[in-house]
Amino acid sequence: MTRLGIAALIATLASVAQAGNAPENQLRALVAKELPSYVQGVDVSTLSQHQLANIYSILHGPYRGQEKKALLRSAIGGPYTLRGLFLN
C-alpha cells in the first residue's frame, strides 16, 4: 500500500469514528438550542437518548403555549414536573 493509500485509510477511519455519535450529538445540540425557550436551567447533557427524542418531538409537535411547557417538563422529569415542584 502506498503512503497516499495509508493516509486515505487513516482519514476514512477517523471520519467513521467521529460519525459514530453524530446523530446523538446532533439531537442533543438541537434540543439544547431550542429547549431554553420553554424550560430554563436544564442540563441537556444529563438527558437520555429517549428523553431527547421525546423532547424533540414535543418541540416540533402541534402543541402550543402552556401545554407544550407542561409536556416538556414531564419529559424532562425530576424537579421540572409538577410533583417535583411540590416535593423539592
Each residue of 7-36: pLDDT tens digit?
A: 555 555 555 445 556 667 889 999 999 999
Three-state SS at 84: helix
pLDDT of residue 6: 60
Q: Give the cell for residue 82.
A: 409538577
Tell if the pTM clears 0.75, that is, is over it: no
Number of domains the chain is built from: 1
* DSSP letter, residue 38: T
State the residue for C-alpha cell 407542561: 70
Is 5 contained in some domain? Answer: no
Is residue 17 in some structural domain?
no
Domain that holds residue 30: 22-87
Residue 11 lies in a domain: no
49 within a domain of the structure (yes/no): yes
Specify if 13 maps to a domain: no
Q: Note whether residue 40 is domain-resident.
A: yes
Residue 73 lies in a domain: yes
